[in-house]
Amino acid sequence: MSDEELAESTRGMIAGWDGSGERRKQPSLGRQVNLSLLRFPDTAQAETALHRLADRQSENLPGDSVQLPKFPQARAKWSVSKKYLDAWLTHDAMALYVHVEDPLSEPAELAPLIDFAQKYFQKQIEMLASYTPTPVDQLGSLPLDVDGILSRTLPLEEKDRIRKDYDNSMVLPVRAALHFENLPGLTKAAFDDAGVDFVSFSSARLFRARDADSATRLLAAFADQDSDGYRKIDSPPNMPGARCFDNKDTKSTSARYPPVCYFAYDRYVARVTGHNLQELYQRTAAQYKLLVH
């Protein structure tokens, strides 16, 4: 839908979050999920937006209405031909949405997808119990750069922006940062061990650990992850402590394994990527200078 139609359908929305996951590393080789959570001023506005969005989606992607036994108040739609389930639910002033599909199962099975959707709703509602919404009039006062971490992160170049007028640089608390990791389960264990509290995102990623020793362990954990897709390469000149990798498949252009360097400085670990090795080494050296100086 257009930006205007989306704005009309979600009138009153204060904030929204989304996440996604794959059953396997290779997309479309197993179950896939997309989750969304929208915050509204009150339950009535959340309910109204939910029905607008669900109605609009049904127009685009028809399916059969089904019921979730544990959440009879939810709206759910099943497409046997596309092998996916969509489900919507309001909880207080929140609208919850889950899209789950299983492209490989033959014949298409609805029951496992209903089970997953119900587990998602149960877990999401459980997690919302500890969520305290920031009052709307205080949103503008939230810090954009926690403790100056973003100012020490390599800035985003215009060619790497989603849009020329949009810079999505940000500082995230550690739990939110997991949404941007390819292997969130392994990364969470590494974050917990290293005491990571904030992650800065821009042209590079900067992870703040508990102390220097913790940063060293986090560096080792990052270097071990995804080793099946990477091959070790030389470090940038005069940076022997950096650990750098490139795609094992020299003919591949997969965005999953871009050339990457990791290094630790004080309590920080930097993850720097580039489009080629020359750019990677230049960016890594520039990120190091930002941390040192």
Mean pLDDT of the chain: 91
Instruction: Note the pTM of the prediction, 2 decimals.
Output: 0.87
Q: How confident is the model at residue 252 (pLDDT cuts 50, 70, 90)?
A: low
What is the Cα–Cα distance from 212 to 251, expressed in whole angstroms?
37
Q: In one letter, which amino acid is 142?
A: L
227-240 tens-digit pLDDT: 677 889 999 999 99
Picking from 127, 72, 78, 126, the residue whose alpha carbon sits closest to that of residue 98 is: 78
The token pair at 91 is 């909880």
Please state the φ and ψ torsions of residue 26, each to the nearest 5 degrees: -80, 120
Band (254; pLDDT cuts 50, 70, 90): low
pLDDT of residue 104: 81
* pLDDT reported for residue 163: 76
As a whole number of Å, the end-to-end CA separation of the chain is: 47
Angstrom distance (rounded) from CA 278 to CA 293: 23
pLDDT tens digits for range 127-179: 999 999 999 999 999 988 999 999 999 999 888 787 777 888 999 999 999 99
Model pLDDT, residue 280: 96
Strands 260-265 and 268-273: antiparallel
- Asked if 73 and 89 count as a contact pair (C-beta separation under 8 A), the reply is yes
pLDDT of residue 51: 95
Q: What is the pLDDT of residues 56-82, one digit of tens each?
A: 988 888 799 999 999 999 999 999 988
Q: What is the pLDDT of residue 227?
A: 67
pLDDT at 29: 72
Confidence of residue 217 (pLDDT cuts 50, 70, 90): very high
The DSSP-derived string for 85-97 is EEEEEEETTEEEE
What digits encode the pLDDT tens for the residues 263-281?
999 999 999 999 899 999 9
Q: Which residues of 168-196 are buried (b: 16+ CB within 10 A; e: fewer)?
A: ebbbbebeebbeebeebeebbebbeebbb
pLDDT at 253 > cutoff 70: no
